[in-house]
Amino acid sequence: MGFDSKSEEFHRALGQLVRDPEPIVRRNAALALVRFNDPTGRAELVATLKPYELPAPAGGEIASTLKARSQIARGTLLARITQPDGRELEVRSPLPGRLEQIRAPSGSKVVPGQTLLTINSDEESVWEALRGLALVGESDDLPVAEQYAQDSVSSDRIKQQAALTAKAIQSRVGGGSQPVKPTAH
């Protein structure tokens, strides 16, 4: 049933999962909704293309040895928070990608909900989100697709998909920016 684009029961379940507290669940549901030609997960596809802000699950003092730009897998230990009562809480990555920015360095005090760090999506997630937006994206999504098409850091694969996504959105909704060509290295 996981890939059945005709099952209304599965379609309804995906509509619920796109609001799940876990970002990986939301992303997977958003991609699966595209198979139904359902744009309900569009905002999550766009969010995949932007840095994910990881909130502190509790208050306390941060301990971490990771450096910005580190590649991380889902489940990677990112930090430990020593809470005021002395208990230690592990903070693990909810997503694969690259640790982009550390906002709460080791030794700093944090409060619940404060952004600890930002994570950029891994290449496969970016590629899949761009593919999904090619089918359900709107003109508001053109700037993020165009950014990836012109980004000097993106791989050729990502640049090509981003250009195709921008072109698909433009042809489907009309207007918007001029067609984007991926830049060469």
Residue 182 pLDDT more than 50? no
| % of the chain beyond a pLDDT of 90 | 85
Is domain 52-120 classified as CATH 3.90.940.20? no
Mean pLDDT of the chain: 91
Tell me the mean pLDDT in the region 71-82. Answer: 97
Token reading at 128: 């899949």
Token reading at 102: 């550390």
Query: What is the 3-state secondary structure of the chain?
Result: CCCCCCCHHHHHHHHHHCCCCCHHHHHHHHHHHHCCCCHHHHHHHHHHCCCEEEECCCCEEEECCCCCCCEECCCCEEEEEECCCCCEEEEECCCCEEEEEECCCCCCEECCCCEEEEEEECHHHHHHHHHHHHHHCCHHHHHHHHHHHHCCCCCHHHHHHHHHHHHHHHHHHCCCCCCCCCCCC
State the helix-helix crossing angle for 23-34 and 123-136, rounded to 10 degrees.
Answer: 40
Q: Name the pLDDT band for 173 (thresholds 50, 70, 90).
A: confident
Phi, then psi, of 69 in degrees rounded to 5: 80, 0
Residue 109 pLDDT more than 50? yes
Q: Name the pLDDT band for 95 (thresholds 50, 70, 90).
A: very high
d(CA 31, CA 179): 25
